[in-house]
Structure 1
Amino acid sequence: MSAVDSKPIDMTQSKKRGVPEGLWLKCPGCSASVYKKEVAQRLNVCPKCEYHFYVSAHDRIAQVLDDGTFEPMNEQLRSTDPLEFADRRKYAERLVGEQKRTGLTDAVVTGTGMVRARRIAFAVTDSAFIMGSMGSVVGERLTRLVEFATEHELPLIIISASGGGARMHEGILSLMQMAKVTAALARYDESGGFFTSVLTNPTMGGVAASFASLGDLVFAEPKALIGFAGPRTIKATIGIELPEDFQTSEFLLEHGYIDRIVTRKNLKTEIARAIDYCGK
């Protein structure tokens, strides 16, 4: 046998170099596979179709507020389980699990910060925590923030990402938060305060039916789902076909429900501009 002869290579034994997991995302908007790092660099926006992916509350804070200026408020408030509610899981256990999974203490983060050197009162809900639903703590934190803004004459910004509305696990205690926050906003308005509400995907149920709709200015991200009941529920109830873009930001802008659609990269600038034009 020649010195250069060798045994045949068994290709079944060679290891394939696969693509590492987690590098790519499938965009829900255009179904394209997009590079995860590029999406993150664009504030979690698809480079192909401008679809706006989910953003956590802490990432929202980093995107909208000036670096290092956010000071949280009322983080000590914690939800309890007054009804001892249980479905597939006890509510008390669900709360602990959500806190560990998300790193949040509840579905809203409130505090003060700066937007291009303008001091504001700021809140953001997070749909990752029980779908951003509004329980007693969410309502109380928002009410205290609005009252703080009233007392200190601060512009108020609330970014909503809530697909769950009022939190059923707390029954009537969650429903009353709609009225409580709304009443605080009415007092804020009477004092001359300026409230900008930002609606993101999704903003539904009791959140959409209360504070999220009451801004002096109402902005929305592109193609966000906004409404009270979902489109499938409405279709099943009234028995007719709904418009293709029903309950989207674009549909609501056309019908006068919101004032402007603002892309994520422009949100900070638009908020600062609105405060300059309309705020104190």
Structure 2
Amino acid sequence: MDNNENFIGLGDNLIDCLNCQENIKKSDFYAKYSICPYCNFHYSIDFNKRLEVIVDQNSFVEFNKNISVKKPKNLDINANYKKNVKNTRQRTGLEEAAITGTASIGGIKAVIILLDFGFLGGSMGIIVGEKISKAFTHARKNSLPVLSIIS
């Protein structure tokens, strides 16, 4: 099987598992976790679904959402990359690959850092690095554990 198939998110359109061909359309387990209940094949899920599966319901509070940094003068960003970022922002609703915030997991409050593969493969640029740094600073100041999810 081609490794790129591991990153297919087909939502409700999927009838048979891409890996074992078992019918998973009516599977509650697949609907909840995007995992085939027969062969354990994992389908990609976006950051909202990832948070829904991991953190306590309605506990996630995002911070540093609209963070921006000055582009270094010597950093040359080509037009294709800028267009790619713009298209990705429109498609995902995200400004960057990193989503940071606080949430409870099993009643324990934690800082969450999530890199969403759907945003340019979860690549790390200046803003992503800044958001991660600020998340760890917030965790240290508030004595909170950190959960980093690279999806």
TM range (shorter): 0.7 to 0.9
Match of residue 35 from structure 1:
24
4+ aligned runs moved over 6 Å, structure 1? none
Q: CA deviation at 1:34?
A: 3.5
Correspondences of 1:146-225 after superposition (within 5 Å): 146-161=136-151
Corresponding residue to 1:130 among 113, 116, 120: 120
Correspondences of 1:67-146 after superposition (within 5 Å): 67-78=57-68, 83-86=75-78, 90-146=80-136
- Of the two structures, which has the highest relative contact order with CA contacts closer than 8 Å and spacing of 6 or more? 2
Q: Determine the C-alpha separation between the residues in 2 that align with 1:159 and 1:23.
A: 25
Task: State the secondary structure of the residue aligned to 1:114.
Answer: strand
Task: State the secondary structure of the residue aligned to 1:157.
Answer: strand
The residue type equivalent to 1:151 in the other structure is K
Corresponding residue to 1:45 among 35, 41, 54: 35
Match of residue 24 from structure 1:
15
In the alignment of these two chains, the number of paired residues is 137
Find out whether 1:64 has 2:54 as its counterpart.
Answer: yes
**Residues 40, 26 of structure 1: CA spacing in aligned structure 2 closer, same or farther, 3 A cutoff?**
closer
Q: CA deviation at 1:80?
A: 7.2
Task: State the secondary structure of the residue aligned to 1:35.
Answer: coil
Given that 1:23 and 1:37 are in contact with CA atoms closer than 8 Å, whether structure 2 keeps it comes out as: no
**Residues 81, 128 of structure 1: CA spacing in aligned structure 2 closer, same or farther, 3 A cutoff?**
farther
Q: CA deviation at 1:148?
A: 0.5
Q: Determine the C-alpha separation between the residues in 1 that align with 2:87 and 2:71.
A: 14
Identity %: 26
The residue type equivalent to 1:71 in the other structure is V
Given that 1:44 and 1:53 are in contact with CA atoms closer than 8 Å, whether structure 2 keeps it comes out as: yes
Given that 2:30 and 2:37 are in contact with CA atoms closer than 8 Å, whether structure 1 keeps it comes out as: no
Find out whether 1:54 has 2:44 as its counterpart.
Answer: yes
What TM-score do the two structures reach when normalised by structure 1? 0.45
Q: Deviations over 1:100-124 (max 9, x none)?
A: 1111111111000111111111111
Given that 2:24 and 2:36 are in contact with CA atoms closer than 8 Å, whether structure 1 keeps it comes out as: no
Q: Determine the C-alpha separation between the residues in 1 that align with 2:34 and 2:69.
A: 30
Q: Determine the C-alpha separation between the residues in 2 that align with 1:100 and 1:131.
A: 15
Structure 1 runs not aligned, ≥5 long: 1-20, 162-280
**Residues 48, 133 of structure 1: CA spacing in aligned structure 2 closer, same or farther, 3 A cutoff?**
same
**Residues 81, 150 of structure 1: CA spacing in aligned structure 2 closer, same or farther, 3 A cutoff?**
closer
